[in-house]
């Protein structure tokens, strides 16, 4: 990251009885939360690059909680700082991290950092933030030379352990399929395992790609659900990415993918079904150079689209794409890099209030 003066932020005391946003776990006592894989986490931008000042001296106000709902108490807390921001002429930011928070409404005068957003319901105030993930390639990436047939991998949950879980899965899928009869875009809200299954099946049936799939029956990113030794799970996960050319990176329960970031981190090309998804910093990153986008209604074309993307590039261009994937992660999508880029490059161009903007704050790359 570039060296620059500290960003001047006013971060007030958190709202009591509301969880703290991850960047402020170390700043305030009583934070509850943990990250399972934390050995190679990036530095915390809010600890290394911020000067905490009074509101009158600040470039912006950042509220330290993350809100999964906006009850009367939350609305009053946010409104008080929205009033302060209006008075001082500076923007106000709140966090609403989580899989199913995309429709939680907030005061229209504040910007909202979210991880899961759907383009069709995105508001002008919504700002998409990448998830936090370890940087496992700080020492450099392992480049792949082009082969006659590219390798596509996936390692993660793609099935369930019990009949009860299977039944619940099919009910969830059926519910959104029924809803999409009347509003087709709602198909995008079908849970991630569905998209994983469909993409893997399409690739396995094709001779246009080779596959390397490790399918688990539970989520391996949490102590309470992992089905094998965490060290083994992490080793298999990273090896599956390193030893492939492309990595399937569909959504999870929320409309985002930590696997997408890990793939870029390791210099590989993610394959993403476009489930009405909005990626971080879309107006600042040319994603089409570092990913394969698959229309959600054409998942059966996944191997074809991967192969077309691969075949269209010379050996030199293929090597450059791997370097570019890593560069974009390191400079714009790693958790610390994102906030550094946002507060030093994007903030100055934002309207003071999202109400002054008729369009979302992040627009697709042209």
Residue 327's CATH number: 3.40.50.2000
How much is the pLDDT for 359?
A: 45
Q: How many domains are contained in the chain?
A: 2
Is 245 within 8 Å of 310 (Cβ atoms)? yes
Q: How far is residue 245's CA from residue 210's CA, in Å, rounded to a whole number?
A: 10
pLDDT digits (tens, 9 = 90+) for 303-333: 999 999 999 999 999 999 999 999 999 999 9
Q: Which residues contact 263 (CB under 8 A, 6 or more apart)?
A: 241, 247, 249, 269, 270, 325
* 197 and 326 together in one domain: yes
Q: Within a domain: residue 173? A: no
How much is the pLDDT for 226?
A: 63
Q: How far is residue 58's CA from residue 132's CA, in Å, rounded to a whole number?
A: 26
pLDDT value at 31 more than 80: no
How much is the pLDDT for 356?
A: 67
* 275 and 341 together in one domain: no
* 215 and 301 together in one domain: yes
* 259 and 338 together in one domain: no
Q: Global pTM?
A: 0.91
* 346 and 327 together in one domain: no
Q: Within a domain: residue 197? A: yes
Worst-scoring range by mean pLDDT, 63-67, 206-210, 268-272, 350-354? Answer: 350-354
* 352 and 327 together in one domain: no
Average pLDDT over residues 259-273: 97
Average pLDDT over residues 8-32: 89
- Percent of all residues in the chain with a pLDDT value above 90, rounded to a whole number: 83
- Place 355 in a pLDDT band, splitting at 50, 70 and 90: confident
* 299 and 349 together in one domain: no
pLDDT value at 224 more than 70: no
Q: Within a domain: residue 80? A: yes
- Place 100 in a pLDDT band, splitting at 50, 70 and 90: very high
Q: How far is residue 277's CA from residue 118's CA, in Å, rounded to a whole number?
A: 5
Q: How far is residue 76's CA from residue 78's CA, in Å, rounded to a whole number?
A: 6
pLDDT value at 222 more than 60: no
pLDDT digits (tens, 9 = 90+) for 273-290: 999 999 999 999 999 999
Q: Within a domain: residue 292? A: yes
Q: Within a domain: residue 361? A: no
Q: Which domain holds residue 24?
A: 7-134+334-356
How much is the pLDDT for 360?
A: 45
* 340 and 320 together in one domain: no
Q: Within a domain: residue 365? A: no
- Place 231 in a pLDDT band, splitting at 50, 70 and 90: confident
Q: Within a domain: residue 254? A: yes
How much is the pLDDT for 293?
A: 98
pLDDT value at 358 more than 60: no
* 14 and 68 together in one domain: yes
* 155 and 296 together in one domain: yes
* 273 and 204 together in one domain: yes
pLDDT value at 76 more than 70: yes
pLDDT value at 203 more than 80: yes
Shortest CA distance to 268 belongs to which of 365, 363, 155, 190? 155
* 235 and 278 together in one domain: yes
Query: How many degrees, rounded to 5, is the angle at CA 337 between CA 331 and CA 338?
Result: 105
Q: Within a domain: residue 366? A: no
The beta strands (E) that lie in the chain are given as 7-10, 50-52, 60-66, 92-96, 111-114, 126-128, 151-157, 210-216, 246-248, 269-274, 292-295
């Amino acid at each position: 990251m570039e060296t620059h003066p500290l960003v001047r932020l006013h971060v007030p005391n958190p709202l009591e009885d509301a969880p703290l946003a991850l960047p402020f776990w170390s700043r305030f006592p009583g934070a509850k939360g943990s990250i399972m894989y934390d050995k190679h986490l990036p530095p915390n931008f809010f600890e290394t690059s911020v000067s905490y000042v009074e509101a009158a001296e600040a470039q912006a106000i950042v509220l330290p909680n993350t809100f999964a709902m906006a009850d009367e108490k939350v609305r009053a807390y946010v409104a008080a700082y929205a009033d302060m921001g209006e008075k001082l002429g500076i923007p106000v930011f709140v966090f609403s991290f989580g899989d199913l928070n995309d429709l939680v409404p907030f005061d229209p005068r504040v910007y909202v950092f979210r991880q899961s957003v759907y383009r069709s319901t995105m508001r002008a105030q919504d700002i998409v933030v990448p998830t936090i993930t370890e940087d496992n390639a700080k020492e450099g990436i392992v480049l792949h030379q082009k082969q006659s047939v590219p390798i596509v991998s996936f390692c993660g949950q793609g099935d369930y352990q019990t009949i009860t879980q299977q039944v619940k899965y099919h009910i969830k899928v059926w519910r959104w399929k029924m809803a999409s009869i009347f509003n087709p875009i709602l198909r995008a809200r079908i849970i991630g395992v569905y998209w994983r299954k469909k993409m893997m099946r399409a690739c396995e049936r094709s001779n246009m790609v080779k596959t390397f799939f490790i399918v688990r029956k539970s989520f391996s990113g949490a102590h309470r659900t992992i089905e094998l030794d965490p060290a083994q799970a992490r080793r298999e996960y990273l090896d599956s990415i390193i030893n492939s050319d492309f990595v399937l990176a569909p959504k999870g329960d929320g409309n985002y993918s930590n696997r997408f970031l890990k793939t870029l981190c390791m210099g590989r090309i993610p394959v993403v079904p476009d489930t009405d998804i909005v990626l971080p910093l879309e107006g600042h990153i040319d994603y089409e150079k570092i990913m394969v986008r698959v229309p959600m209604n054409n998942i059966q074309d996944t191997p074809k689209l991967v192969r077309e993307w691969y075949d269209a590039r010379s050996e030199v261009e293929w090597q450059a794409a791997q370097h570019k994937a890593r560069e974009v992660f390191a400079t714009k999508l790693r958790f610390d890099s994102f906030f550094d880029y946002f507060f030093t490059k994007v903030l100055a161009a934002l309207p003071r209030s999202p109400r002054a903007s008729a369009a979302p704050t992040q627009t697709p790359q042209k």
